[in-house]
């Protein structure tokens, strides 16, 4: 449970509980020490009174009855806190500290007792108790408030670093997290993160240059090879046809890799108004053949904001996958707010493979036997394009024969831009 609490709250709780325990122990020790000290003072006062009484009293006999009084005072003004024992009166010492001494006389030794009231002890403890009951909670609130405030100020740079780091994408790797002016661990963390961003930015730039150079180097020889094969088709048409097929597959693979690299780099797509129904219709017309019939179920005015080229590529890849696996019919459905479904009447995708089919260079065993030219990148590219346009791409339907893309509608995209 405590793991779900923030560092600031956990530290505040720990500090407050620690101070509460320390104050509780301190209050108990203080009360015990005060009681002991005051009781000791009362005992010393009783001893002082006893010593003064023993030194200054005179023994007077009156018909065999012995009384004590100060030698300078009449018997009626004797000290009420000094008496001769063993007169039995237990209530005389209740609430008092007592002291006992002996006085020798001609008739024998008599015992004298003195007392000092413990009421000041009770009064002091009664005065201390409400102070502790009121002062300790106030002090705890003060400690909690100060800890919360100080930790908030201490962790404020961490929150700023986290927010800035979360906003950095592949398109703005040049940005850096703020470095506080302090020389503590937070400042070192910020400098370390900025150093990591420096290395990441350099790595991404090298990756982009490599992709661009590789695409250029692949396109030139492939174009030359294709031209030579087309020129040589007159002398060896069968061989040239097979070679041209291989070249086309390599060209498609190179184009797929280049598109994936651009998607991975986070290049933002164009922001055009795209009619999904029109794009789906055009892609379906391009892929129609005698073996598989493509049926259209297109709703009007389904518009999204994004790259027409990329969205056409997404729908085209979904259609290519469906056509390869369909028995006879593929259905393309476009519905509001921005949904595209491509359904085939083939064997479908097993439940255990409904996520792995979107992995790169992944083709199911059944698909490998029927695949005439798939590279295993089509669905991966389609899902990346859907995510780039704020949507999702999943396998739907009980048989797993439906690929469903839900994109961000035009109005939501416009609201997001504002």
Highest mean pLDDT of the ranges 110-114, 254-258, 284-288, 295-299: 295-299
Domain that holds residue 370: 269-417
Shared-domain flag, residues 104 and 22: yes
Shared-domain flag, residues 193 and 226: yes
Shared-domain flag, residues 227 and 347: no
Length of the chain measured in residues: 418
- Does the residue 168 lie in any domain? no
Shared-domain flag, residues 201 and 245: yes
- Does the residue 211 lie in any domain? yes
Average pLDDT over residues 347-371: 71
Q: Tell me 278's DSSP state.
A: H
Residue 303 phi/psi, 5-degree rounding, is -115, 140
Candidates 278, 286, 325, 268; CA nearest to 303 is 278
User: With pLDDT > 90 as the criterion, what percentage of the chain qualifies?
Assistant: 19
Angle, helices 237-264/185-232, rounded to nearest 10 degrees: 160
Phi-psi label, residue 193: left if phi above 0, alpha if psi -120 to 50, beta otherwise: alpha
Q: State how far the Cα of 309 lies from the Cα of 303, in Å rounded to an integer.
A: 15
CATH of the domain at 359: 3.30.565.10
Omega of the bond prior to 337 within 30 degrees of 0, cis? yes
Condensed to tens digits (0 to 9), the pLDDT of residues 153-211 reads 888 888 888 888 888 776 677 788 888 888 888 888 888 988 988 888 888 777 777 76
- Does the residue 409 lie in any domain? yes
How many distinct structural domains can be found in the chain? 3
Contact call for residues 313 and 260 (beta carbons, < 8 A) = no
- Does the residue 169 lie in any domain? no
Shared-domain flag, residues 297 and 395: yes
Structure confidence at residue 58 (pLDDT):
57
Pair of tokens at residue 343: 């359904």
Shared-domain flag, residues 252 and 342: no
Q: Tell me 3's DSSP state.
A: G
CA contacts within 13 A on the Cβ side of 107: 9
Rg (CA), the chain: 48
How does the average pLDDT of the chain come out, rounded? 80
Residue indicated by tokens 């009855």: 65
Q: State how far the Cα of 233 lies from the Cα of 240, in Å rounded to an integer.
A: 5
Contact call for residues 357 and 418 (beta carbons, < 8 A) = no
Pair of tokens at residue 65: 């009855």
Shared-domain flag, residues 257 and 291: no
Structure confidence at residue 55 (pLDDT):
74
Average pLDDT over residues 394-401: 82
Pair of tokens at residue 286: 């391009």
Shared-domain flag, residues 328 and 409: yes
Average pLDDT over residues 35-56: 85
Average pLDDT over residues 4-33: 88
- Does the residue 175 lie in any domain? no
Structure confidence at residue 72 (pLDDT):
40
- Does the residue 164 lie in any domain? no
Q: Residue 226 — very low, low, confident or very high, per pLDDT cuts 50/70/90? A: confident
Structure confidence at residue 269 (pLDDT):
67
Structure confidence at residue 247 (pLDDT):
75
pLDDT, greater one: 326 or 84: 326
Shared-domain flag, residues 274 and 367: yes
Shared-domain flag, residues 280 and 379: yes
- Does the residue 146 lie in any domain? no
Would you say residue 342 has pLDDT above 90? yes
CATH of the domain at 215: 1.10.287
Shared-domain flag, residues 256 and 289: no
Q: State how far the Cα of 371 lies from the Cα of 323, in Å rounded to an integer.
A: 10
Long-range contacts of 52-60 (CB under 8 A, 24+ apart): 53/79, 53/82, 53/101, 53/112, 53/114, 54/101, 54/103, 54/112, 57/82, 57/103, 57/112, 59/103, 59/105, 59/110
Q: Which of 135, 151, 170 is the last residue of a domain?
A: 135
Q: Which of 234, 263, 292 is the last residue of a domain?
A: 263
Q: Which of 95, 110, 135 is the last residue of a domain?
A: 135
Shared-domain flag, residues 29 and 92: yes
- Does the residue 51 lie in any domain? yes
Candidates 332, 349, 348, 353; CA nearest to 404 is 332
Contact call for residues 160 and 176 (beta carbons, < 8 A) = no
């Amino acid at each position: 449970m405590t793991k779900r609490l923030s560092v600031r709250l956990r530290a505040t709780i720990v500090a407050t509980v620690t101070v509460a325990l320390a104050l509780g122990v301190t209050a108990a020790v203080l009360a015990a020490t005060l009681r002991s000290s005051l009781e000791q003072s009362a005992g010393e006062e009783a001893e002082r009174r006893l010593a003064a009484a023993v030194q200054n009293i005179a023994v007077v006999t009156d018909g065999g009855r012995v009384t004590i009084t100060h030698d300078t005072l009449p018997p009626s003004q004797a000290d009420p806190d000094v008496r001769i024992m063993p007169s039995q009166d237990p209530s005389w010492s209740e609430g008092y500290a007592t002291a006992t001494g002996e006085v020798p006389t001609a008739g024998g030794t008599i015992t004298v007792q003195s007392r000092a009231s413990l009421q000041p002890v009770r009064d002091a403890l009664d005065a201390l108790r409400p102070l502790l009951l009121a002062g300790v909670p106030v002090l705890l609130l003060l400690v909690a408030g100060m800890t919360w405030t100080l930790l908030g100020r201490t962790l404020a740079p961490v929150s700023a670093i986290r927010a800035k780091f979360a906003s950095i994408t592949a398109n703005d790797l040049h940005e850096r997290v703020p470095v506080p002016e302090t020389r503590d661990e937070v400042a070192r963390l910020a400098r370390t993160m900025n150093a990591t961003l420096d290395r990441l930015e350099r790595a991404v730039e090298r990756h982009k240059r490599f992709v661009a150079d590789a695409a250029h180097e692949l396109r030139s020889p492939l174009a030359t090879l294709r031209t030579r094969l087309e020129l040589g088709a007159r002398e060896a048409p069968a061989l040239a046809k097979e070679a041209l097929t291989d070249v086309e597959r390599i060209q498609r693979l190179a184009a797929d890799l280049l598109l994936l690299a651009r998607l991975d780099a986070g290049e933002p797509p164009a922001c055009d108004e795209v009619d999904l129904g029109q794009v789906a219709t055009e892609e379906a017309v391009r892929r129609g053949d005698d073996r598989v019939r493509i049926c259209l179920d297109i709703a009007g005015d389904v518009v999204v904001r994004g790259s027409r080229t990329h969205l056409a590529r997404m729908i085209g890849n979904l259609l290519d996958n469906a056509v390869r696996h369909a028995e006879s019919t593929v259905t393309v459905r476009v519905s509001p707010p921005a949904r595209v479904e491509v359904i085939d009447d083939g064997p479908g995708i097993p439940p255990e493979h409904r996520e792995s089919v979107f992995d790169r260079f992944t083709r199911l065993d059944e698909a490998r036997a029927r695949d005439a030219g798939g590279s295993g990148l089509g669905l991966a590219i389609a899902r990346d394009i859907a995510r780039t346009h704020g949507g999702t791409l999943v396998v739907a339907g009980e048989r797993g024969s439906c690929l469903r893309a839900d994109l961000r509608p035009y109005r939501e995209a416009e609201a997001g831009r504002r």
